[in-house]
C-alpha cells in the first residue's frame, strides 16, 4: 500500500469546491461569478478554462492568455485561489507566469501519454497542485500512468478528478460514471485526493445534485461544478452550468457523512453484521470448492467418454436458469451473470486440467 503523502486538498469532512465557469468568456463574467461565489462561500478554488479542448473545431476555443489576467484579478480582489486547465507545455509556462494556484489536466489530454509526458517535463522543479482528470475512455492504467508521469516530474501535490467516461451508450448521462473505476483508483492510491466533476458526468444541470451527493456518499474529497451567471448564454457546456444561486442550493443540500464513527452501539452492531458477512463469505468459498470437486468428476466422466469439455448449450441453459432464479429472489441478474461467467470459466479450467493430467500420464 502506498504511503500517505502529506498532501490532501481537503480537511477531514470538509469537501473542497472547485467552482467557476467552464470557460472564461469576458472579464465581467469571470469577476461577477467570482464575486457571487465569494459572497456565498461556495468556492475553495475558482476554476475557469482559458484554452478549451473542444471535440469539434469551430466551437469556442477559449480566450487564451488574457483570461489569465482575469483569473489573477479574481485572486487579488476576492482572495480565492484560482485554477486553470493546461493541455500543453506552453499553457503550463503561462499559468506559472500568472501565479495560477492549481492546474488540472483535461480528459482528452490524459488519454495521450505523449501529451502527459510533455506537460510533466514542463512541470519539473515546480511546486504546484496538479489534478489529473480521468481519460475519456475507462482505462484505469492510463489514468494512473498520467498521475505517475506528473509525480515523476517531482510534483507531490497531486490529485485526480472523476468526470465520467465516453461510450456509445450514455443513458441519461453525458459521460458514464462507471463508479468502480474511481473507486479502484481510490483503493490503489489512498494517498491522493479524488474530486468528482458532476457537471461533465451529467451534462445536465438538473442531475448535478444527485451525482454530487452520491460522490459525497462514496467519500470523494470534493466537487468540481461549473458555474456561470447566465448558463443559457454560456459559450461552452451551456446545459450543464449552474448559476451561483443554484450552486448554493446544491451545496447547502449536501449531506456530508463521516467516514467512521466511535459511537459504541454503532460499532457493536457493525461488528456483529460484519461477522455475519464474514461467515457467509466463508460458506460461499466452501461451496465454490465443493462445486470445483464436482467439476473434476465431470471432467473425468467426459474424458472417459471422449466428450469435449465445453458445451455451448449447457452454458446458455445454466445462465438462463441462474438469472431466472436470481430474479425471483430479487438479486441483481447482472451480478449473477458476471459471477457465473467466472464460476463457469473456472469449471472449464478444472476440466481442462483433468485432460492435461491424462495427456501427461500417457507421455
Q: Looking only at residues 128 through 147 of this chain, which bind ligand PEP when binding is defined by CB under 6 A?
A: 133
- Closest Cα partner for 24 from 48, 3, 44? 48
DSSP 169-207: --TTSSSB--THHHHHHHHH-TTSEEEE-HHHHHSSGGG
Cβ–Cβ under 8 Å, residues 121 and 155: no
Place of cell 517535463: 121
Choice between 130 and 336, CB closer to ligand PEP: 130
Decide if residue 91 touches ligand PEP (CB under 6 A).
Answer: no
Choice between 106 and 299, CB closer to ligand PEP: 106
Place of cell 460499532: 267
Partner from Mn ion, ligand PEP, none contacting 133, C-beta within 5 to 8 A by type: ligand PEP
Decide if residue 189 touches ligand PEP (CB under 6 A).
Answer: no
- Closest Cα partner for 115 from 138, 94, 133, 95? 133
Decide if residue 237 touches Mn ion (CB under 5 A).
Answer: yes
Q: How many residues in total does the chain contain?
A: 363
- We find the least distance from the C-beta atom of residue 49 to Mn ion, in angstroms, to be 6
Cβ–Cβ under 8 Å, residues 21 and 48: yes
- We find the least distance from the C-beta atom of residue 195 to Mn ion, in angstroms, to be 14
Tell me which of 9, 16, 18, 22 binds Mn ion, using CB under 5 A. Answer: 22
In the three-class reduction of DSSP (H, G, I as helix; E, B as strand; rest coil), residue 19 is classed as: strand
Decide if residue 49 touches ligand PEP (CB under 6 A).
Answer: yes
In the three-class reduction of DSSP (H, G, I as helix; E, B as strand; rest coil), residue 130 is classed as: strand
**Beta strands 102-105 and 158-162, pairing class:** unpaired
Decide if residue 186 touches ligand PEP (CB under 6 A).
Answer: no
Decide if residue 24 touches ligand PEP (CB under 6 A).
Answer: no
Decide if residue 177 touches ligand PEP (CB under 6 A).
Answer: no
Decide if residue 22 touches ligand PEP (CB under 6 A).
Answer: yes
Dihedral angle over CA of 43, 46, 48, 50, nearest 10: 180
Choice between 62 and 299, CB closer to ligand PEP: 62
The number of helices, as runs of H, and strands, as runs of E, in the chain is: 13, 8
Decide if residue 198 touches ligand PEP (CB under 6 A).
Answer: no
Choice between 161 and 350, CB closer to Mn ion: 161
- We find the least distance from the C-beta atom of residue 54 to Mn ion, in angstroms, to be 10
Tell me which of 20, 67, 106, 203 binds ligand PEP, using CB under 6 A. Answer: 106
- We find the least distance from the C-beta atom of residue 66 to ligand PEP, in angstroms, to be 18
Choice between 212 and 336, CB closer to ligand PEP: 212
Per-residue cell: 148: 505517475
Number of C-beta neighbours around residue 322 at 10 A = 18
Where along the sequence are the contacts to ligand PEP (CB under 6 A)? 22, 49, 53, 85, 106-107, 133, 163, 200
Where along the sequence are the contacts to Mn ion (CB under 5 A)? 22, 237
Amino acid at each position: 500500500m502506498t504511503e500517505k503523502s502529506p498532501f490532501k486538498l481537503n480537511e477531514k469532512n470538509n469537501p473542497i469546491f472547485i467552482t467557476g465557469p467552464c470557460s472564461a468568456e469576458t472579464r465581467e463574467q469571470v469577476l461577477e461569478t467570482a464575486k457571487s461565489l465569494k459572497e456565498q462561500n461556495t468556492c475553495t478554488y475558482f476554476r475557469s478554462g482559458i484554452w478549451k479542448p473542444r471535440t469539434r473545431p469551430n466551437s469556442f476555443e477559449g480566450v487564451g492568455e488574457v483570461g489569465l489576467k482575469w483569473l489573477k484579478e479574481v485572486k487579488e480582489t476576492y482572495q480565492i485561489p484560482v485554477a486553470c486547465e493546461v493541455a500543453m507545455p506552453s499553457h503550463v509556462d503561462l499559468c506559472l507566469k500568472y501565479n495560477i494556484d492549481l492546474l488540472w489536466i483535461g480528459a482528452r489530454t490524459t488519454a495521450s501519454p505523449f501529451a502527459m509526458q510533455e506537460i510533466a517535463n514542463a512541470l519539473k522543479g515546480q511546486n504546484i497542485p496538479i489534478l489529473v482528470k480521468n481519460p475519456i475512455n475507462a482505462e484505469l492504467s492510463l489514468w494512473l500512468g498520467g498521475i505517475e508521469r506528473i509525480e515523476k516530474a517531482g510534483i507531490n501535490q497531486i490529485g485526480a478528478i472523476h468526470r465520467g467516461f465516453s461510450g456509445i451508450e450514455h443513458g441519461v448521462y453525458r459521460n458514464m460514471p462507471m463508479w468502480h473505476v474511481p473507486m479502484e483508483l481510490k483503493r490503489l492510491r489512498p494517498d491522493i485526493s479524488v474530486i468528482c466533476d458532476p457537471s461533465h458526468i451529467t451534462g445536465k444541470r438538473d442531475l448535478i445534485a444527485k451525482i454530487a451527493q452520491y460522490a459525497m456518499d462514496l467519500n470523494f474529497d470534493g466537487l468540481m461544478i461549473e458555474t456561470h451567471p447566465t448558463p443559457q448564454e454560456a459559450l461552452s457546456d451551456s446545459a450543464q452550468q449552474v448559476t451561483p444561486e443554484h450552486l448554493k442550493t446544491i451545496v447547502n443540500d449536501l449531506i456530508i457523512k463521516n467516514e467512521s464513527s466511535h459511537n459504541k452501539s454503532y460499532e457493536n452492531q457493525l461488528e456483529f453484521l460484519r461477522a455475519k458477512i464474514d461467515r457467509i463469505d466463508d460458506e460461499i468459498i466452501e461451496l465454490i470448492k465443493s462445486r470445483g470437486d464436482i467439476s473434476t468428476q465431470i471432467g473425468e466422466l467426459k474424458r472417459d467418454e471422449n466428450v469435449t469439455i465445453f458445451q455451448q448449450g449447457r452454458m446458455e441453459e445454466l445462465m438462463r436458469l441462474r438469472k431466472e432464479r436470481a430474479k425471483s429472489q430479487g438479486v441483481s441478474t447482472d451480478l449473477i451473470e458476471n459471477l457465473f461467467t467466472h464460476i463457469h470459466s473456472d469449471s472449464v479450467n478444472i476440466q481442462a486440467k483433468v485432460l492435461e493430467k491424462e495427456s501427461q500420464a500417457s507421455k
